[in-house]
Amino acid sequence: MQMYILFFIQKSNLCFFFLLFPFIYNLTHLPLFAQDDNIVPNPSFDITKGKVKTPGQIEISQGWQSATPAQADLFCKTSKAPEYLVPLNNFGTEDTYDGECYAGIVMEGYRGAPACTYLQSELKTPLETGKSYCIKFHISLADLSKYACNNIGLFVSQAPVTQVEISR
């Protein structure tokens, strides 16, 4: 059975976050976690099909996609566009948590700005009933965000989430 994760926010003003390093570990691997134990594919967004040149290019990061027409951004140290470089870019300064890249997501549109961007990925292995998991992700509010957001979350489903399901 396939399983997907979706990052989201509930009721916020316009704000922009960097998603730095999501991971999910099976707690049966305690006491030590290794990079290979992470069931989120490409958690540092480093494995890409090309270089970042324009906004909304999250899908060049292997295993990641947006769930809505408003595409998440990808920021990399090797970006061809200065607006999407790491650490200094159009939204401020932020280094990676791990690796060369991170994702950028807008949490709510404002005065004609793009709508929310949702980011999702299929897990490497399905979650198993009766097992405990550590779910963790690192985020950072962009320096130039006018507002901050709360209620940031993660949703696990058996199929990719679509625009129609988010609108409900």
Tokens of 145: 């965000």
pLDDT value for 12: 42
Q: What is the pLDDT of residues 57-67, one digit of tens each?
A: 999 999 999 88
Q: What is the pLDDT of residues 36-78, one digit of tens each?
A: 588 888 989 999 999 999 999 999 999 999 888 888 899 999 9
Residue 8's nearest CA partner among 142, 105, 121, 110 is 105
Residue 102 parent element (H or E): strand 101-106
Amino acid identity of residue 151, one-letter, is: N
